[in-house]
Homo-oligomer: A and B are copies of this chain.
Amino acid sequence: MMHCMEKVRETMPIVHNITNYVTVNDVANVLLACGASPIMSDEPEDVADITAICGGLNMNIGTLNKRSIEGMFLAGRKANELGHPVLLDPVGAGASALRTNTALALKEKIRFAVIRGNISEIKTLAAGSGTTRGVDADAADAVTEENLDRMVEFAKSFAKAEGCMIVITGAIDLAADEKDCYVIRNGRPEMAKITGTGCQLSGMITAFITANSNCQLKAAAGAVCAMGLAGEIAYGKLKDGEGNATYRNRIIDAIYHMDGGTLAKGARYEVR
């Protein structure tokens, strides 16, 4: 994982983001913090050109609209043609028919390298339908120590079915391909009180896998560990009276200062 992070800083991949307007600024800043270069574009007439000058594509349906959905299909097709890794963040899949159907149609038409969501969103995609509590995961669905074996199998089998990596984030994070599953225990529960830590992670995963084409799963898991570890480091620096707004900044700051050695030392995971 150490080398995965260093490779991002060395190669400075350009990441094309079609993402929601709620957390887009944090996505841009966290990409800069980890050494990548972000560019945002969602207009159908613009996206293919932009994708062509980038190395990877991060798609997030958090505030999707008909124009940006069209942009996602066009950008995804171009990225597939060029062999760029593409990530899908199906924000709110299960919460509305449009979100569920768009996520399902995207994974039908576009070859994704990674799908990253919370457990409710991923279960919706696996089932082909579902219900989600807004954009946050249902507690009833959470990955826990008790159901871990079963969830690891679910992640691997969904990865196999889709032919792509599956990243499920929550109190315990899973990053799986069809053979291996990283079980990751970095992070802090307070991160759920900041809007967009998931969106930021999706951006970072895209940067990590773009920079590390020969060790994709380790790179994806490395990004998950880095984000969680940044949450731990930032939490340790919070002073009296500081809350979720300052915490948000300190997490990005922690990514900014994180090197491969810090990540290697702080990453807490096992491979199953």
A interface list, Cβ under 8 A from B: 14, 20-26, 28-29, 32-33, 37-43, 45-46, 49-50, 53-54, 62-67, 92, 95-99, 131-136, 193-196, 233, 237, 241-246, 248-257
Contacts of A65 in B (CB 8 A): 42-43, 46, 67
Instruction: Determine the chain B residues whose CB is within 8 A of the CB of A241 once the complex forms.
Output: 233, 237, 250, 253-254, 257
Contact of B40 with A244 in the complex, beta carbons under 8 Å: no
Query: Once the chains bind, are A22 and B28 in contact (CB under 8 Å)?
Result: yes
A66→B43 contact, CB < 8 A:
yes
16 CB < 8 A contacts A-B: A21-B40, A25-B25, A29-B195, A33-B193, A42-B65, A43-B65, A46-B64, A49-B98, A53-B132, A53-B133, A66-B67, A241-B253, A242-B253, A243-B254, A243-B257, A246-B250
What residues of B have a CB within 8 angstroms of the CB of A43 in the complex?
Answer: 63-66, 98
Task: Check A40/B63 contact, CB under 8 A, given A50-B95, A253-B246.
Answer: yes
Query: Once the chains bind, are B96 and A196 in contact (CB under 8 Å)?
Result: no
- Count the copies: 3
- Is the pair B33, A243 in contact by a Cβ cutoff of 8 Å? yes
Closest residue of chain B to A256, judged by CB? B243
Inter-chain CA distance A249–B242, complex, in Å, is: 9
User: Which residues from chain B contact A132 at a C-beta distance below 8 Å?
Assistant: 53
Contacts of A40 in B (CB 8 A): 20-22, 62-63
